[in-house]
Amino acid sequence: MRNPVAGSIIIGLLLVGWQIAAVADSDTQERLQVALDPWNPHEIRLTGNQLTVITRERRMTDQILRPLISTGVCMPVFTGAPDSYLSGIDEIAVLNIHGRQGYIFSGGRSECQEIGGLPMNDLEMYILSRTRMHTN
């Protein structure tokens, strides 16, 4: 025979876990809005393990990508963001206004932590070595 109390507890735990994940995502979203404000992105999306930044640029270049990653997306990691910031993110897509051309950086929070400890002359190579082009 089923135990209705155990079922209620499981459902309650699942709901609490979902709410915690939603709060973490909204906190990350808010921090990204502030960190990326200088670039005035068209859209910021968190979908599964990917963060997508749709810029207002018609054509993406690595000159836009590098500072957007290093001093934009990663900056909250250097300034004391909670561990939930970028948790679960494995890729950061930086795309043009149409979402059809750009770059995908393979990394998330731990790569941002590495970026924070790099000397400026190694930063460009680190970011580009973990980046691939994206076209639709």
pLDDT for res 19: 38
pLDDT for res 8: 53
The answer to whether residue 134 scores a pLDDT higher than 60 is yes
Query: Interhelix angle for 109-116 vs 120-129, to 10°?
Result: 160
The SS3 assignment for 92 reads strand
Q: Which domain holds residue 56?
A: 4-135
In contact, 106 and 132? CB cutoff 8 Å: yes
pLDDT digits (tens, 9 = 90+) for 104-115: 999 999 999 999
Percentage of the residues of the chain whose pLDDT score is greater than 70: 82
pLDDT for res 26: 76
Provide the number of structural domains found in the chain. Answer: 1
Task: Give long-range contacts, CB 8 A cutoff, 24+ apart: 7-16.
Answer: none
- Selected residue with higher pLDDT from 127 and 4: 127
- Selected residue with higher pLDDT from 20 and 85: 85
The answer to whether residue 70 scores a pLDDT higher than 60 is yes
pTM, whole model, 2 decimals?
A: 0.80
In contact, 44 and 73? CB cutoff 8 Å: no
The answer to whether residue 14 scores a pLDDT higher than 50 is no
| Region 65-93 average pLDDT | 94
